[in-house]
Amino acid sequence: MNGPGNRDYHRSVRPRCRVKPPLAAPLFQWVWEEGMGAGTVLKTIQTQSLKAGMYVVKLHGPWLQHPFWRTRFVVDQDDVDTLLASPVDRVDIDTDRGGDVDAAGNEDAHGPMPCADDAALVLAAGLPPKSGGAQAHAGMGDELARARLICDDGRALVEAMFGELRMGRAIVLDGARDLAARIDASVSRNPLALVSLARLKTADDYTYLHSVAVAGLMSAVARDLALPEQQRERAAIAGLLHDMGKAHVPLAILNKPGKLLDEEMALMRDHPAAGERLLRDAGLEDPDVLHVVRHHHERMDGNGYPDRLAAEDLPVLTRICAVCDVYDAITSNRPYKAGWDPAESLRRMASWQGHFDPLALKSLVRVLGIYPVGSLVRLASDLLAVVVAPGDHPLAPPRVRIFFSARSRSHVFRRDVDLGASSDRIVGIESAHVWGFRDLEKLWMP
């Protein structure tokens, strides 16, 4: 099988040049837009007639020139004010899903209010509740300090568990449960700090820190999907334990820089089943976690391994792990390949038909952003920048740190720019490898 579960697959699709700008719009539309049902009532109105509570389905004009990265949403007053100050002069509204205007262009007080589906869509897009009761996230810098400790402790714990298993000893899971709780707490304070930091791992650290990264990603996606608290706890522990079966794969195979032989690949593909056996022997009885461990390399089209399960046999945590596992794998430095750019990775994952649950993948994009922290981007000004933080508004472009001129091929004075309040904009993704940039994390980490 040639796919994300095959280490040689990543070589065959490694990007060799920067991504062309048009890729940004399709990914965004894939993440945010909802299908329009038959009989939908649409109306084009002047932006001046837009009122809070209306459901916008289209902003007229090129998508890169309007102030939002999403084109279908219930507008609040802040959205209305932003649109009034923008070049957008007309919008299309769905009067079945939001407020209407009367013949004189005034708000129809008797028009339909946003329905339950609209509220779910707003929450799914990552917007705060309209009541304003959303808990504020901790600052990126503050949480990164805590996340460093979690990553250090996590690496040590996972390495110790691997060592015990390699020597044929049973492992004690109490430490893993405590670490999973710390990971989930960090994600609750700031969903980007730990997952951004855990992505930065050397090839030698990959096997151990990968488990920490997947635990953080799974916890963040579980929260984004509003899973019950018990399921969120299981998501973190499942991510931490999902690759325990690799303890029975020789290090020479795990760290081999070249193509694996058929018998070596067979050993690699046995690690999910081996992990389930090892964790059962250690006393783990949670069926959801055990399912994740055994089946995180299954695919929605039934072409995964070890059991080629169909989509209906894959519960939500297993679907989430399949997405998070691949994302961290392809964005990390490995013995046999350099990690891909985070934004490029999301675009490629969206193009792999049949691999992932679309809802889980869309949730991951909402958590990370279309341009995740650490992405190298080219601006319309021909300046290169690294994404340092998401925008202030969930629909806004990110904040970036400019450091290089592509035109003069020279470094420039570093400065931070909020693209949501700037005339500059992202026009494409760049390859740090092609440009010869190393240690880009030093640019975005506080």
The 10s digit of each residue's pLDDT in 333-342 is 887 788 888 8
Task: Determine the average pLDDT of the residues in 247-265.
Answer: 89
What local confidence, expressed as pLDDT, does residue 207 receive? 84
The separation between the first and the last C-alpha atoms of the chain, rounded to the nearest angstrom, is 42
Rounded distance between C-alpha atoms, residue 219 and residue 317, angstroms: 10
CA nearest to 98, candidates 121, 74, 81: 74
CA nearest to 182, candidates 135, 136, 239: 239
Average pLDDT, the chain: 79
Rounded distance between C-alpha atoms, residue 315 and residue 279, angstroms: 19
pLDDT(258) > 80: yes
Crossing angle of helices 24-32 and 358-368, in 10° steps, is: 110
Query: Lowest mean pLDDT: which of 103-117, 203-217, 385-399?
Result: 103-117
The 10s digit of each residue's pLDDT in 224-245 is 998 988 898 899 999 999 999 9
Neighbours of 403 (CB within 10 A): 18
pLDDT(106) > 70: no
What local confidence, expressed as pLDDT, does residue 431 receive? 86
CA nearest to 374, candidates 396, 397, 399: 399
CA nearest to 159, candidates 244, 283, 237: 244
pLDDT category of residue 126 using cuts at 50, 70 and 90: very low
Query: Lowest mean pLDDT: which of 17-31, 158-172, 340-354?
Result: 17-31
HEC secondary structure over the chain: CCCCCCCCHHHHCCCCCCECHHHHHHHHHHHHCCCCCCCCCEEEEEHHHCCCCCEEEEECCCHHHCCCCCCCEECCHHHHHHHHCCCCCEEEEECCCCCEECCCCCEECCCCCCCHHHHHHHHHCCCCCCCCCCCCCCCHHHHHHHHHHHHHHHHHHHHHHHHHHHCCCCCCCHHHHHHHHHHHHHHHHCCCHHHHHHCCCCCCCHHHHHHHHHHHHHHHHHHHCCCCHHHHHHHHHHHHHCCHHHHHCCHHHHCCCCCCCHHHHHHHHCHHHHHHHHHHHCCCCCHHHHHHHHHCCCCCCCCCCCCCCCHHHCCHHHHHHHHHHHHHHHHCCECCECCCCHHHHHHHHHHCCCCCCHHHHHHHHHHHCCCCCCCEEEECCCEEEEEEECCCCCCCCCEEEEEEECCCCEEEEEEEEEHHHCCCCEEEECCHHHHCCCCCHHHHCC
Amino acid at the residue 327: Y
Specify whether the CB–CB gap between 73 and 122 falls below 8 A: yes
CA 387 to chain CA centroid, Å, is 14
Q: How long is the chain?
A: 446
The 10s digit of each residue's pLDDT in 10-55 is 444 443 334 333 344 455 445 544 334 444 567 888 888 888 888 8
What local confidence, expressed as pLDDT, does residue 119 receive? 31
| Token output for 148 | 């460093």
What does residue 277 show for φ and ψ, rounded to 5 degrees?
Answer: -65, -45
pLDDT category of residue 392 using cuts at 50, 70 and 90: low
What local confidence, expressed as pLDDT, does residue 151 receive? 92
Burial class (CB in 10 A: 0-12, 13-18, 19+), 205: middle
Neighbours of 183 (CB within 10 A): 31
Share of the chain above pLDDT 70, in %: 78
Q: Provide Rg for the chain, Cα atoms.
A: 23
Domain boundaries, the chain: 34-124, 136-368, 373-444
The 10s digit of each residue's pLDDT in 70-88 is 556 777 787 787 777 777 7
Task: Determine the average pLDDT of the residues in 114-136.
Answer: 33
| Token output for 208 | 């151990």
pLDDT category of residue 272 using cuts at 50, 70 and 90: very high
Residue 410, CA distances (Å) to 375, 384, 388, 414 in order: 19, 10, 21, 12
pLDDT category of residue 171 using cuts at 50, 70 and 90: confident
pLDDT(9) > 90: no
CA 252 to chain CA centroid, Å, is 31
Specify whether the CB–CB gap between 328 and 198 falls below 8 A: yes
pLDDT category of residue 61 using cuts at 50, 70 and 90: low
Specify whether the CB–CB gap between 183 and 194 falls below 8 A: yes
Neighbours of 3 (CB within 10 A): 16
Residue 63, CA distances (Å) to 54, 320, 381, 408 in order: 20, 30, 18, 29
Fold classification of 136-368 (topology level): Hypothetical protein af1432 (1.10.3210)
What local confidence, expressed as pLDDT, does residue 337 receive? 82
Highest average pLDDT, of 44-53, 340-349, 398-407, comes from 398-407
pLDDT(252) > 70: yes
pLDDT category of residue 4 using cuts at 50, 70 and 90: low
Rounded distance between C-alpha atoms, residue 158 and residue 241, angstroms: 9
Q: What's the predicted TM-score (pTM) here?
A: 0.72
Rounded distance between C-alpha atoms, residue 63 and residue 191, angstroms: 27
Share of the chain above pLDDT 90, in %: 38
